[in-house]
Structure 1
Amino acid sequence: MSSATAPGLPHVDAVTPAVLVLPGPASPRELPRLCDEVRTLLRTTGAGVVVCDVGGLGPLGLAAVDLLARLELTARRAGGRIRLRDADPALRALLDLVGLRFESEGQLEQREPPRGVEEAVETGDPAV
C-alpha cells in the first residue's frame, strides 16, 4: 500500500544549535561541569552542534586551548561538534598554531572563483 506525497516542498524540522557561554577565565575545576553541559545540550536539543560563545573567555593561552579541545572531544564522543562564536583573532591564531580547527560562526568559506571569471591583467604586466 502506498500513499500519495503531498504537493510542494517537504517539511524540514530545522534544529537551532544549542549555545554554551564560556565564562571568563575557566579553571580546570570547571571542566567536568562544562563537558556535562555539552553532553546535555546535545542530548536534550537534538542539535548536532553546540555553539560555544568564547567572547568572554579569559586569558588566551594553553589553558583556553585545552578547554576547547576537551569540549570538542566531548562533543565528538556524543555525536556532535563545537562551533565557536565571537572568537578573537588571537584565539583563532593560537588554535591554528597548535593544529586545532574549529568552525566559527560567520566564517566565510574559502571557495574557488566561479567558472568563467578571469583575473584582471594590468597593462604592462609581462605575459606568463
Structure 2
Amino acid sequence: MTGITYTMFIENATGPAAADVVACGVSLPRALVLALEYGGKGKPAVVYSDVGALHYFAIGRRPADGGPFQCATCTVLQRSENPGLDADRAFEIFEQVLLQHPHEFWEGRVMTDEDFAQRHRNEEIAT
C-alpha cells in the first residue's frame, strides 16, 4: 500500500480549474471501481480464464439491465504457480491503464491528489 490517493474529475468547457470533481482522496483500486460504476452503466466485474500457459483477465461492467459483460480492457499474463499473484498483477495493469488511458473506463481523468491540487493552484495563478 503506497498511501497515495487520487482525485477523479471530468474536465468541462470552462477549463481545468472548473473541473467537476467526482471523488478525491481515493485509492487507485477504488478509483477503478468508481470509474466503471460512473453514470450508472452497471456494476464492475472481472472475468478470467486459463488459455494454455496464460491467464486472461478482462475488466468491465455488467449492465444494470442484465445485458452481457461489457469489457473495458483486458490483459494476458504468463500463468504462475500463484493465481492470487496473477490476479494482483492484472489489477496493477488495469490501474495503470486507468491512469494513462482513462477513456478505456470512463469520460474523466484520474491523477494524484497532490498533482490535482498543484494543477488547480497553477490555474488560479494563471487567471
The TM-score normalised by the length of structure 2 is 0.25
Of structures 1 and 2, the one scoring higher in RCO (CA 8 A, sep 6+) is 2
Q: Which has the larger radius of gyration?
A: 1
Structure with the larger helix share: 2
Structure with the larger strand share: 2
